Structure 1
Amino acid sequence: MGKLTDMQIKAWIKAGERFEGRGDGDGLWLRYRENDKTPVWRYRYKFAGKPRTMQIGTYAELSLAKAREAVKTLAARVALGHDVAGEKQESKAAALAKIEDEKNAITMLALANEYYERMILSRWKHPDIVRRRIDKDIGPHLGKMKVEDVKPRHVDDMLQAIVKRGAPSIANDTLRWTRRMFDYAIKRHMIEHNPASAFDVNDAGGKEEARDRWLTRDELAKLLAAMKEAKGFSRENDLSIRLLLLLCVRKMELCAARWEEFDFDDAVWRLPGERTKTGAPIDIPLPILAIEWLQELRQLSEPSSWVLPARKMQHRMLPHIHEGTIGTALGKLKPHMPGVPAFTVHDLRRTARTHLADLGIDPVVAERCLNHKIKGVEGIYNRHDYFNERCDALNKWAAMLGALDKGEAYNVTPITKAKKKRA
C-alpha cells in the first residue's frame, strides 16, 4: 500500500471500515478499531533495538499533513537519543500527579482554620481574637496559597501591609499567630520549614509602647452626644459603649455575655471565671443606670440568650457580635467629634480608671472595679472582693456619666452609699 490520502481516510470513516493499522511511511500508522470514535495516529520506531509505539493524536485533531509533520519532529528526537514514548508517559504521569497534588493541597486558609478549631476554639477564653486575625489579615493575604508555597517574602508582604494601614500592634499579633500556625503544620508533616521563623517584632510592628490615651470629661460628653447624633449609629452600639465605660469590663466580657449571667433583682452581673482574663469569677455591681441600659438591650436582643447577638452576616462560628464590631462602630463617630484625638475601645477602661481616681475612689477598689488582681503580698493574703466598695464607686461613676450625658456639670462630692448589700 502506498501513501495514505485524506480521501481514503474519509471514505473508510464513512463506510465504517475498521482496521488495526495502515501505514503512511516513516513510522506513521493509522488505527481504526471498533471502540475508536475516530481513527488514531500512531508512531512506530525502534529505540535501543526494541520496537516502541506511541499515540500522537486522532484524525479529528491532526490532519494527515500535520501528522506527517509531527512524525518528522519525533523521528528527529529519536535520532538524538530520546525515547519519545517513554518521555510522553513520564510527562503524563507527572501531570496526573500534579493534578492529584493540587486536589489534596492544603491552603494557608485551611491550615489557619484547622489550627483555630483544634488549638484555639476550645482552649482559649477569647478565640475570636485569633479568628479576627485569620479573617482580616492571614486569610486575605495568604489564604489561597498552598502552605508549602508560602515564602518569607509573602509573610513580609502581609506584615508590611498591616503596618501601612497604621496597625503595628496587630502586625505583631499576626506574626505571632502565623508563626504558630506554621509550627503546627510542621508537626502535622505538612511542611518541613517555618517561613515565618526568622521574623521578630522588629520586622513587624516593632516594640509596642503602652498606650496612655484616656477621655477627659469634655471628651466623654462629646462621645455621648455623638452617639446620639451620628446617622446610622445603632442603639445597640450606643448602649454597648456606655456599658463598657460604666462597668469597666473588657470588650469580650460584654460581647460574649449571656442574659443568664445577670441578676437584676440583686443588681449584679455574675461574670464566670472562664470568661475573665484572670480566670477567677467576679460579681459586678450594677448601678441603676446600667440596669436601665441592659433592660433596653434585652428588648432589642429578644429572643436571643445573648446580650449582643450576632448581626446579619457576621462570622457564623460566633453566636454573639464579633469582637471588632464595637471598635468599627466607634470609628464612625470621628466626623462627629472634631478636635477629639483618636481613641480605641480599650482606651475606655483606662478612661474609667482615670476618672475613678479623680472621683476619690481608693486605688485598690478602683483596680478591683477593672477586675485587676491586687499586686504584691496584699494580693496574696487579702481575698476580700470589695463588692460594697465597688458598688459605691460605680454608683459615683454612673452619676458622673449621667450628668455628662445630660450636659450638666458634675462636682466631685461623696454620694450616699448604696444601702443594698450583697446577697
Structure 2
Amino acid sequence: MKSIATQINDTAIKAHAKDNEIGEMRDIRSPLSLKFHKSREKATWCYLHFIGGVTKRTRIGYWPTLKTKEALAIIPTIIENIHKGKEIQSTSFKTVGDLLTWYAARTEKEALKSKSRRKGVLSAINKHLFPRLENVTINALRKVVIDEKLILPLQSQNLKPSTIRQHFAILKRAFASAKELELISVNPMAGMKFRDHVQRRIEPKQGKLLVEDAKDVVQQLMPLTESTKVMLLFMLMFATRIGETRQLKWRYIDLQSGVITLPESVTKTGSIHTLPITKHAYQLLTDYKQRCKGEYLFGGKSPISASTADQIVRTTSKRKWSAHDLRKLARSTWATIGIDYWVSERLLNHKQKGLDLVYIKADSITVKREALTQYHNWLFSDDFTCSKHVLENPKNAKMHSDYKKIA
C-alpha cells in the first residue's frame, strides 16, 4: 500500500478510504498522518516526529471518532508535552490503575446511579479491571494490550461473553469520563469496540421459564411464607423488577382508585410507572395489608436489601430461575394470549425509542387494566386463585363488592 502526501480533511479521508491501494495519508500542513485499518471504515491518527533520524509515530486517536479538526487542534499540546518530556496521552494519571482508582471514587459519589449499579461498577473494577491493568501506562494502552491482559484472561475464567462485554464497557466509560472532564488529553479507547476482540454475536439471554410453566410457578409459591409469596407473585403478576418490588411502599398503592404508582426514584428507567390493580391483585394486596406492618410491603420500617431479595428468589427456585425470569415469563405470556406489543412495552416500563418517543405520548391506564385483567384471569384460572384462602375466607367477602365499585 502506498502513502500519499495531501491536505487531510474529512472529505478527503472518505474519498481515499475507497481506494484500497492507499494505506496512509500524510498531511502537508502538519506532522500528522492517518493510517487506514483493514476495514477501511476506521483509521489511526499518528503524530510524526524524528528521533535520531528515524521517523517515530505516536498514536493520538482514531478516525472517525476524532475528526480532522480535532486532531489538528491537539498537535500543539502534543509537541509541547514531548519537548517537556511529558506523557502525551495523560495529564492527570500515569497508569490505568490511577485512572480506575479515580473513577471508582467518583462512582461511589454518583447519587444519580442506583446503589446496585454503583455496586456492579465497583465490583468489576476491583475484581477484574484493576488487578489486570493496574500497571499498564495510559500511553501504552492498545487494543492488543487489552486483548492480552483483560479479554483473554476473562475468557479463560469461563466468563460469559455478555459479562466480559460489561467489564469492557465499564473500562471504556472510565476513559470517556476522564476525557470529558479533561483529565486526559487523548482517550486511547476512543473508537475501540468489543467486537474487535469477540466477533461472536451475543444473543439475548433466554428465559428459563416457559409459558406452560406459569401456573406451576403459581402453585409452587402458594405454600411459602406470606411476604415471600406476595413478593414473588407481585413480580409475576406485574412483571416488575426485583429492585422496584422490594422497595414498594404502601403509599404507592391506592386501593381505592385501583392504581399502583412507582415513582421515578424507584424505577430503573427513572420514569414514573403506573399499574392498574386488577381483581386478583386487589384480593392479594388487601389481605396482605391486614397482616403487614410498616411503611414497606417487604421489610416493614425499611425495605429488604437487594442481597436478601436475591437470596429469597434463589432459595424458592432452587437456583432454577431468577427474578428476571418471572418478568420474561410475564412478557412471553402476554404475547401468547394476544396482548398488544405497545401495551406490553408500557407495562414493562421500557424506555420508548425513536419515533415512538416523539409521536406516542399516551400511557393509558385503561388499556393497561384491560391487558392485566386478561393476563390475571388466564394466570389464575382452573379453579385456583392468587390467594385462594382469601376467596374462601368469609370475612373478606366485602372486598369483592369493593373492587367492583373501583373497577
For 2:289 and 2:406, how far apart are their aligned partners in 1? 25
1:346 is paired with a residue whose SS is helix
- When normalised by structure 1's length, the TM-score is 0.52
The CA deviation at 1:110 is 5.0
Alpha-carbon spacing, 1:282–1:188, altered in 2? closer, same or farther (3 Å): closer
Identity across matched positions, percent: 21
The partner residue of 1:138 within 108, 113, 125 is 125
> How many residue pairs end up in the alignment?
289
CA 1:381 to 1:199, structure 2 compared with 1: closer, same or farther past 3 Å? Answer: closer
Q: CA deviation at 1:394?
A: 1.3
How far off is 1:247 after superposition?
A: 0.9
Q: 1:361 aligns with which of 334, 339, 344?
A: 339
Separation in 1 of the partners of 2:310 and 2:152? 22
1:286–1:391 CA contact under 8 A, matched in 2 = yes
Contact kept? 1:270, 1:281, Cα under 8 Å: yes
* CA–CA separation in structure 2 for the residues paired with 1:382 and 1:179: 34
Q: Are the counterparts in 2 of residues 116 and 130 from structure 1 also a CA contact under 8 Å?
A: yes
Amino acid of the structure 2 residue aligned with 1:132: G
CA RMSD of the aligned region, Å? 4.7
Q: How do 1:175-214 residues align onto structure 2 when only pairs under 5 Å count?
A: 175-184=168-177, 200-202=193-195, 203=197, 207-213=201-207
Rate the CA distance shift 1:325–1:175 in 2: closer, same or farther, 3 A: farther
Q: Is the 8 A contact 2:172 2:189 kept in 1?
A: yes
Mapped contact 2:334–2:344 kept (Cα < 8 A): yes
- Distance in structure 2 (CA, Å) of the matches to 1:374 and 1:404: 36
Residue matched to 1:241? 232
- Which of 212, 215, 234 does residue 218 from structure 1 map onto? 212
Which residue of 1 is the match for residue 117 of structure 2? 129
Q: Given residue 171 of structure 1, which amino acid in structure 2 is its aligned partner? A: I
Any conservation in 2 of the 1:287–1:395 contact (CA below 8 Å)?
Answer: yes
Change (3 A) 1:180 1:381: closer
Q: C-alpha displacement at 1:419, in angstroms? A: 5.1
CA spacing shift, 1:289–1:274, aligned 2, 3 Å: same
How far is the alpha carbon of 1:246 from its aligned partner?
Answer: 0.7
Q: Which runs of 5+ in 2 are unaligned?
A: 1-96, 387-402
Q: What secondary structure does 1:269 align onto? A: strand
Q: Is the 8 A contact 1:240 1:326 kept in 2?
A: no
SS state of the match for residue 284, structure 1?
strand
CA displacement 1:5-49 (0-9 Å, x = unmatched): xxxxxxxxxxxxxxxxxxxxxxxxxxxxxxxxxxxxxxxxxxxxx
Distance 1:309 1:173, change over 3 A: farther
CA deviation after TM superposition for structure 1 residue 225, in Å: 3.9
Could you report, residue by residue, the CA deviation over 1:195-235 in whole angstroms, capped at 9, with x for unpaired residues?
87796424369543234537334312333344457xxx875
Contact 1:108 1:142 in 2 (8 A): no
| Superposed displacement of residue 307, structure 1 | 3.8
Residue matched to 2:327: 349
For the residues of structure 2 that align with 1:350 and 1:395, how far apart are their CA atoms?
Answer: 18
**Hey, what's the Cα distance between the residues in 1 that align with 2:100 and 2:296?**
29
What corresponds to 1:172 in structure 2? 165
The answer on whether the counterparts of 1:179 and 1:196 sit within 8 Å (CA) in structure 2 is: yes
Q: Residues 295-333 of structure 1, C-alpha deviation per residue, up to 9 Å, x if partnerless?
A: 676688743x4444599xxxxxx96532x6555544445
Distance 1:289 1:390, change over 3 A: same
Cα distance, 1:128–1:155 mapped onto 2, change above 3 Å: farther
Change (3 A) 1:158 1:238: farther
Measured after TM superposition, the shift of residue 293 of structure 1 is 4.4
Question: Equivalents in 1 of 2:318, 2:333: separation in Å?
Answer: 25
Partner deviation per Cα, 1:91-133 (whole Å, 9 max, x = no partner): xxxxxxxxxxxxxxx8788545412134x322x3x44224224
Which residue identity does 2:241 align to in structure 1? R
* 2-structure distance, mates of 1:186, 1:211: 33
Distance 2:314 2:305 in 1: 17
2:323 match: secondary structure: coil
How far apart are the structure 2 equivalents of 1:247 and 1:207? 31
Match of 1:321 in 2: 305
Alignment partner of 1:266: what SS? coil
Amino acid at match of 1:139: N
- Contact 1:278 1:373 (C-alpha < 8 Å) held by counterparts: yes
Aligned residue number for residue 42 of structure 1: none
CA distance in 1, matches of 2:192, 2:185: 17
2:259 alignment partner in structure 1 = 268
Structure 1 Cα separation of the partners of residues 98 and 287 of structure 2: 44
Amino acid at match of 1:121: A
Q: Which amino acid aligns with 1:268?
A: V
Query: Structure 2 vs 1, CA of residues 192 and 362 (structure 1 numbering), >3 Å: closer, same or farther?
Result: closer
What TM-score do you get using the length of structure 2 for normalisation? 0.53
Does 2:106 align with 1:115? Answer: yes
Contact 1:285 1:387 (8 Å CA) reproduced: yes
Q: Which has the larger radius of gyration?
A: 1
Whole-angstrom distance in 1 between the partners of 2:329 and 2:198: 29
Q: Contact 1:261–1:270 at 8 Å: present in 2 too? A: yes
